[in-house]
Structure 1
């Protein structure tokens, strides 16, 4: 964890024990700094609704700051991992939480937007490792929201992860980022080959061809090698448990259906005018 006095800052000074993580980012080409892309680039647009979740923690070791990644899913709610907020554990307690948006560059901290997160989560589940929090101030009005797609990846399907690895500015993982093969899912898990670090927990796993979230990353492999993979929770499984996500998906489907009907009506009117 970071020192407690850094809570509320965008650029967190890393403890000596985790300095090697920053070096890993610099050496690994699969971690792409999103600040290097134009704000109108499709990758930056997909990344807009993803932010860093900062948690002021109290434990037996004292106070500290932990970070995860979270996605805006509506005008009120964000989605992250349940294990980021140890409400099920007596050894630690979250005292306060912030959502930091637009943290792309350590040198431009003044551009970062901070939103208060309401505690405790409105929904959470330990097995599915998801938590939904209410956020004050409607960050979706500025940054939009991620598109949710409750389907499982195909084996070997190209994926994309947007995250704040090690609490650092926003990165994307694309190179080599794919669903595992020959098996891409297991029980409630997505098995993936996307590079992540501590701080990546809660980050959205997107299907590259759809630009939509199909899961949330929650853990890395305990070993490295050709047969290793990381783990995410299937959005399809979460949607089957979450009333909030079910309602969001239903509203999105109704909006899409209404748009299709309106488009069909416009096309019918245009044909009628041409034939008149």
Structure 2
């Protein structure tokens, strides 16, 4: 059931939905969470140092940082077969074969916390790599797409009526970090099978952006109130996507769906005022859930270019783009992509998600089989 506040929101949308049918939503708001601009790193500061025992390492630390991502340049003569990306606790979150990027640059996964360490070696004859840029996230929470009071909570703290379902499905949802131009961003994505993940086209819509992207699974607060930085998996390619439906299916390395599971997509349209929940990474934060006063409102409304969307009253924020809207059976019924509009009064106090059944129809028409 929803509160009176959100019931009023529903009424306003219903009254204004007819006029909204003629308007295409061109601006994605609030869109991906901006984690920061690229900070150039000079040669002296960015060079890996040789440590006792012959190992190479690079360490960056800033007390106010909540996450760090590094751009690494690999010399053409690279021979070492392993670099480990570690967080402040010394936990390895990603293992990279630098030979894959010989003579090029690559972005590491985003490391949660104030310290990023990259370790390699020992190999005294190996040409030393260099960090050429950093993205340091020092941002605070922005409540742009919160409907009424902020009712987001850490998944670990959730004790609501969907507890059994949430405990089963939340593992398949991760934080997707990437770089576009000179800015770092974060969205949400979820596994469809062992190696494919779904997010928004406005998050990862080109192969160039995919090449910078990593999906962190298990980035969340644990029952003992400590932070798990998760495990990172690199974006390999875009399998399929569409601008109008604002979705992208990504193939990621390492088959994370084997360990973290995957979500089932609902072939049916959601019902009016149907209760739901959204598991997400708002503002690039550890995994959270919106379930209180979270419901679908099935006014047929404009999405990115056509009437593809359902409205919903689930709390989200920048970075929630690509989150699954999930029903009581644990199936994904919609793909969140638009927060409260700044330009269309019909959507001032409501969020929007693409109806999953419409995406499934598109996928089927392009001879793509998700259940692989």
TM-score (norm 1): 0.74
- Aligned residues: CA RMSD: 3.2
Greater per-residue helix proportion: 1
SS at match of 1:56: strand
Alignment match of 2:235 (pick from 117, 124, 142)? 117
1:31: which partner in 2? 152
5+ residue gaps, structure 1, are: 252-276
Q: Which structure dedicates a bigger proportion of its chain to strand?
A: 2
Number of corresponding residues: 237
Provide Cα deviations, 1:184-222, integer angstroms capped at 9, x if missing partner.
Answer: 666211111111100000000111x21110110001122
2:295 corresponding residue in structure 1: 178
- 1:256 paired residue number: none
Q: Structure 2 CA distance, aligned partners of 1:34 and 1:156?
A: 23
Q: Is the 8 A contact 2:220 2:228 kept in 1?
A: no
Match 1:53 to one of 176, 185, 192: 176
How far is 1:238 from its partner? 0.6
TM-score, with structure 2 as normaliser:
0.56
Match of 1:9 in 2: 110
Kindly provide the CA deviation profile for residues 36-91 of structure 1, in whole angstroms up to 9, marking residues without a partner as x. Answer: 259x954232211000111122x2xx3x3211000100112000000002439xxx
Cα distance between partner residues in 2 of 1:10 and 1:165: 16
1:67 pairs with one of 183, 186, 195: 186
Name the CA shift for 1:54/1:245 in 2 (closer, same or farther; >3 Å). farther
Change over 3 Å in CA distance of 1:68–1:159 after alignment to 2: same
1: CA distance between counterparts of 2:324 and 2:368? Answer: 17
Distance 1:190 1:99 in 2: 26
Task: Tell me if the contact between 2:191 and 2:263 (Cα under 8 Å) persists in the aligned partners.
Answer: yes
Match of 1:259 in 2: none
How much has 1:12 moved relative to structure 2?
6.2
Separation in structure 1 between the aligned mates of residue 359 and residue 334 of structure 2, nearest angstrom: 9
Higher relative contact order (CA 8 A, sep 6+): 2
Distance of 2:144 and 2:350 partners within structure 1: 22
Mapping of 1:187-202 within 5 angstroms?
187-202=307-322
1:2–1:12 CA contact under 8 A, matched in 2? no
Cα shift at 1:248? 3.2
d(CA) in 2 for partners of 1:153, 1:96? 34
Q: Please identify, of 44-53 and 222-231, the stretch whose mean Cα deviation from structure 2 is larger.
A: 222-231
Q: Which has the larger radius of gyration?
A: 2
Say if 2:143 and 2:317, in contact at 8 Å, map to a contact too: no
SS in 1 for 2:254: coil
Residue number in structure 2 paired with 1:98: 214
Deviations 1:220-265 (A, max 9, x none): 122589983211111111111114896236x7xxxxxxxxxxxxxx
Name the counterpart of 1:240.
Answer: 361
Secondary structure class of the residue paired with 2:169: helix
